[in-house]
């Protein structure tokens, strides 16, 4: 359980860093900064995948599952904040001609593992009574992601910056 918690903490730390950079204002970010942000997002996804793999060995107690769900709640709040900042930043991304880059990056990450996938396995295994709370978090994340994806649909510019081989 310690490994899973560590990966979730890594995700929380990385999302906090991304949100801090984005909250400074996209107008201050260069194209290279945006590419760095996308790579940091990939790093978050990588940590999530490692966390999902490590759930096989974890068998949390009821109290640990509740604590982990609280951590997942914080992670979803950070993800929703990041998505809100991305939606608010679209006019600036349009000016930088990179909205297509953002759209393409979003399309590539759709369905590729959420921090809640870690929690799903653990909660089903140890505290099924927490599933309704987890499902509410999943819907919150899902709805915000698809709102953001719809907001960027049809955006163009910067698609060539998405490196299909690295992601």
> In the predicted model, what is the mean pLDDT of residues 98-125?
78
H/E stretch holding 9 reads helix 2-23
Domain ranges of the chain: 2-161
Q: Is 58 left (phi over 0), alpha (psi -120 to 50) or beta?
A: beta
Q: What is the mean pLDDT of the chain?
A: 83
Q: What are the structure tokens assigned to 108, written together?
A: 């590539």
Tokens matching residue 167: 């992601």
pLDDT reported for residue 165: 47
Percentage above 70 pLDDT, the chain: 92
Q: Give percent above pLDDT 90 in the chain.
A: 14
Count of alpha carbons within 13 angstroms of residue 39, beta-carbon side: 10
- C-alpha span between 98 and 68 (Å, rounded): 36
pLDDT digits (tens, 9 = 90+) for 11-70: 999 999 988 888 877 777 777 777 788 788 888 888 888 888 888 878 888 888 889 889
Cα–Cα distance measured from residue 64 to residue 127, given in angstroms and rounded to the nearest whole number: 9
Whether residue 147 has pLDDT greater than 90: yes
Q: Residue 20: CB partners within 8 Å, gap ≥ 6?
A: none
Is pLDDT at 161 greater than 70 in this prediction? no
Q: Would you say residue 114 has pLDDT above 80?
A: no
Q: CB of 110 within 8 A of CB of 83?
A: no
CA dist 98 and 100 (Å) reads 5
* CA–CA distance, 95 with 157 (Å, rounded to integer): 10
pLDDT at 81: 92
Of residues 5 and 110, the one with the higher pLDDT is 5
Cβ atoms of residues 165 and 130 within 8 Å: no
Q: What is the pTM of this model?
A: 0.83
pLDDT confidence of residue 167: 42
């Amino acid at each position: 359980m310690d490994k899973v918690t560590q990966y979730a903490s890594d995700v929380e730390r990385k999302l906090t860093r991304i949100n801090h950079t984005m909250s400074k204002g996209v107008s201050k970010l260069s194209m290279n900064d945006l590419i760095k942000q996308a790579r940091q997002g990939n790093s978050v996804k990588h940590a999530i995948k490692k966390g999902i793999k490590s759930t096989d060995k974890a068998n949390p107690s009821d109290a640990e599952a509740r604590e982990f769900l609280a951590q997942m709640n914080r992670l979803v709040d950070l993800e929703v904040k990041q998505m809100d900042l991305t939606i608010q930043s679209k006019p600036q991304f349009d000016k930088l001609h990179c909205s297509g880059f953002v759209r393409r990056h979003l399309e590539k990450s759709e369905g590729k593992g959420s921090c809640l996938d870690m929690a799903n396995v653990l909660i089903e295994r140890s505290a099924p009574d927490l599933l309704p709370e987890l499902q509410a978090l999943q819907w919150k994340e899902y709805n915000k992601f698809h709102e953001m994806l719809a907001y960027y649909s049809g955006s163009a510019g910067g698609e060539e910056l998405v490196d299909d081989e690295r992601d």
